[in-house]
Homo-oligomer: A and B are copies of this chain.
Amino acid sequence: MLIVQKYGGTSVGDVNRIKNVAYRIARAYDQGHKLVVVVSAMTGQTDRLIELAHQVSKEPDPRELDALLATGEQTSAALLTMTLKDIGYNATSLVAFQARIFTNNAFGKARIDKIDSPILQQELKKGNIVVVAGFQGIDSHGNITTLGRGGSDTTAVALAAALKADLCEVYTDVEGVFTADPRICRDAVKISRISYDEMMEIASLGAKVLQIRSVEFAKKYNVPVHVRSSFTEVEGTMVVKEEPEMEKIVVAAVTHDKNEARITITRVPDRPGIAAQIFEPIGEVGIVVDMIIQNTSAEGLTDVTFTVPKADFHQAMEITRNVASGIGAERVLGDEHIAKVSIIGVGMRSHSGVAAKMFSALAQAGINILMISTSEIKISCVMDEKLTEKATKVLHDAFILNKGLP
């Protein structure tokens, strides 16, 4: 098999862990597999470099920041490759310009356009293990770009797609994807197979296990992704194309996310174009708005509520206050102490009453819902941050342990 393996920062966090990873790669090689290995920067390295950048500049130039950050993965790729050679395996490290990982020029959040690597193909043909620095690319002018937090996942999946690999293994510090955060729910169990769509929702609703974009890529090119631990031998979670079996499970997982904050503008004049007036200035500074709720209008006035990442809360509040006074709204309320708890499952498509059961389970536990948002395969409720753990357990009990049928 041709396998693309990806090792995250904690898996290559120090010299001993790098050696551990090298032996794991060696075992797979000895089993007869062709291997491409994608590595992240050693734990903490990216943060240290960002810290350095901020010491010389309050707003580091994005192009230069990417050139700086790319050194992290170059370092771990070179170290892992010399470790492999040291234990007698032929290996070669490649950084983005060598692996010809082309991206657009959106520094800090670049998207992979194309991977076209004759060197990589040649090295594989020679029977060598190829170690690729994750997280980075080059644009069409040869500038170094990076793919954003978790970008090495996307490097791995994109390489697997480009090379038509049989499997992409993502090694991380958890054993796979769980039905809920095991630190909160003792009853949480590892999911053995999950669909791309469910995984995308889980990734965007708070679980850090895979970068969302990597799952989009995997879905688009139908790359099977095995999420597993680099510290144990147990099987992890396979992320695959939706299978008929999966529909039978109503809720595959319960997630929670404490990284958003809520902003409400009260008594907004309800006229066409008002939403654009509110959200354009927020989008212009690069703040990503998640949920947006607008109540039915009464007396030509309405309330608009939305959520933004906690890190952007203060900036978003300032912009919103300006907008609010400009459009003649009453006031702006902010709340940083919220959490979003969600249930996810492709089974929701074919089962009715799921939302009702969710709301009733939360109500019985005395949990007040502040906002609701739904998609075809997920329902999210925003609540007071303090209730996160309670809500997660209640929903896990109701849907996962009891198999979720209303």
Interface positions of A (Cβ within 8 A of B): 15, 18-19, 49, 52-53, 55-61, 63-65, 67-68, 70-71, 74-75, 77-79, 81-83, 85-86, 92-93, 95, 97-98, 119, 141-144
Report Cα–Cα, A93/B68, bound state, in Å. Answer: 10
Tell me if A67 and B85 are in contact (CB < 8 A): no
Report Cα–Cα, A77/B92, bound state, in Å. Answer: 25
Report Cα–Cα, A141/B368, bound state, in Å. Answer: 63
Tell me if A56 and B15 are in contact (CB < 8 A): yes
Tell me if A85 and B61 are in contact (CB < 8 A): yes
Determine which of B65, B74, B144 lies in contact with A70 in the assembled complex, contact meaning CB atoms within 8 Å: B74
A52 touching B83 in the complex, CB below 8 Å, given contacts A64-B78, A71-B71, A97-B97: no
Report Cα–Cα, A11/B141, bound state, in Å. Answer: 31
Report Cα–Cα, A67/B39, bound state, in Å. Answer: 15
A67 touching B78 in the complex, CB below 8 Å, given contacts A52-B15, A98-B142, A119-B142: yes
Tell me if A68 and B79 are in contact (CB < 8 A): yes
Determine which of B55, B57, B68, B78 lies in contact with A68 in the assembled complex, contact meaning CB atoms within 8 Å: B78
Report Cα–Cα, A52/B83, bound state, in Å. Answer: 11
**A63 to B: closest C-beta gap in Å:** 7
Tell me if A79 and B95 are in contact (CB < 8 A): no
Report Cα–Cα, A79/B71, bound state, in Å. Answer: 12
Determine which of B67, B74, B97 lies in contact with A93 in the assembled complex, contact meaning CB atoms within 8 Å: B67
Q: Which of A60, A79, A142 has the most CB of B within 10 A?
A: A79
Determine which of B56, B67, B75, B77 lies in contact with A77 in the assembled complex, contact meaning CB atoms within 8 Å: B67
A49: B residues at CB distance < 8 A: 75
- In the complex, which residue of chain B has the Cβ closest to the Cβ of A52? B79
Determine which of B63, B65, B142 lies in contact with A97 in the assembled complex, contact meaning CB atoms within 8 Å: B142
Tell me if B86 and A65 are in contact (CB < 8 A): no
Task: Please give 15 more A-B residue pairs, beta carbons under 8 A apart, in addition to A61-B85, A67-B95.
Answer: A15-B52, A18-B56, A52-B79, A57-B83, A57-B86, A60-B86, A63-B92, A64-B79, A64-B93, A65-B78, A65-B82, A67-B78, A71-B71, A97-B97, A119-B141
Report Cα–Cα, A124/B167, bound state, in Å. Answer: 46
- In the complex, which residue of chain B has the Cβ closest to the Cβ of A86? B57
**A144 to B: closest C-beta gap in Å:** 8
Task: List 23 contacting pairs A-B, 8 Å CB cutoff, sorted by A.
Answer: A18-B56, A19-B56, A52-B75, A53-B78, A53-B82, A56-B79, A57-B82, A59-B86, A60-B82, A61-B81, A61-B86, A64-B81, A65-B78, A67-B93, A68-B74, A68-B79, A68-B82, A70-B74, A71-B71, A71-B74, A71-B78, A97-B97, A98-B142
Tell me if B97 and A83 are in contact (CB < 8 A): no
**A151 to B: closest C-beta gap in Å:** 18
Determine which of B64, B74, B77, B98 lies in contact with A82 in the assembled complex, contact meaning CB atoms within 8 Å: B64
Report Cα–Cα, A86/B61, bound state, in Å. Answer: 8
A67: B residues at CB distance < 8 A: 74, 77-78, 81, 93, 95
**A202 to B: closest C-beta gap in Å:** 34
A58: B residues at CB distance < 8 A: 86
Tell me if A86 and B142 are in contact (CB < 8 A): no
A53: B residues at CB distance < 8 A: 78-79, 82
- In the complex, which residue of chain B has the Cβ closest to the Cβ of A72? B71
